[in-house]
Amino acid sequence: MIRSLLSLFSNDLAIDFGTHGTRVYAKGKGIMVAEPSILAVDKNSNVVAIGQQVLETLASYQDSITVIRPLKEGTITRLDLAEKLIQYCIQKAHGGFKWATPRAVIGVHPLMTDVERHAIESCVYMAKASEVYLVDAAIAAGEAATYDFAFIDADKTGYDAYYERCLVLLRGNGLIAIDNVLWGGDVAKKSRDADTLALQALNDKLVRDERIDIAMLPIGDGLTLALKR
């Protein structure tokens, strides 16, 4: 309740939390924060500097601190430090106001797993955001309807999510190629295997999806071509 009330005095934010840098955009105000995604930790695991502060004070600490990046290749490696970095950036975007509880939109990598997405979402909530929304980084960067071709060949349980994101990114008459849709013939059999069930569900969905025209090629392990209308 208190967090919801405080959100009335907070800006809506879009946060680009990257391995090398974190940027915070405030609605109607533009980029408010641009900081390196690093923290300095002393020998007792206390945070002594965050972001640009680390670079400015590094020489004075010499060998008494360790510089850590809490995010690597889209995966949070130190949840506690990621929380402190994001909270620092949120407060800085509000002029140092420590009770800021904004609504936040976070750009994430489209291939990020559900576990990784949950970790980032939890991290931003712990940094005192009142509401958190995750969007794919490419979509957040305005790249929707700008691609001509997409190829899907990844974890099978994620195929449907990748397909939906690709549809958003593709322009009209763009083509999606989906590999392994026959799955060694297992898609035609009853199964309890998660990958097989995911492929069966996707194949059924594609046949009925009025947003595309499709053709399945019996080459390799099966290749579906979906043309966006």
How do residues 192-206 score in pLDDT, each as one tens digit?
999 999 999 999 999
Average pLDDT over residues 173-182: 94
pLDDT bracket for residue 110 (50, 70, 90): low
Report d(CA 64, CA 70) in Å as an integer: 19
Average pLDDT over residues 52-71: 86
Residue 2 has pLDDT above 70, yes or no: no
pLDDT bracket for residue 4 (50, 70, 90): very low
Lowest mean pLDDT among 4-13, 38-47, 108-117: 4-13
Average pLDDT over residues 51-68: 85
Strands (E), 125-228: 131-136, 147-152, 170-179, 212-217, 223-228
Pairing of strands 71-72, 103-108: unpaired
Tokens 């009925």, residue located: 208
Number of other residues whose CB lies within 10 A of the CB of residue 128: 21
- Per-domain residue ranges of the chain: 2-140, 147-228
Average pLDDT over residues 68-95: 88
Report d(CA 147, CA 4) in Å as an integer: 39
**Tens of pLDDT, residues 17-45:** 888 889 898 877 888 999 999 999 998 99
Report d(CA 227, CA 212) in Å as an integer: 5
Q: Do domains 2-140 and 147-228 have the same CATH topology?
A: no
What's the predicted TM-score (pTM) here? 0.61
CATH H-level, domain 2-140: superfamily:
ATPase, nucleotide binding domain (3.30.420.40)
> Is residue 10 a contact partner of residue 3, using CB atoms and an 8 Å limit?
no
CATH placement of domain 147-228: 3.40.50.150
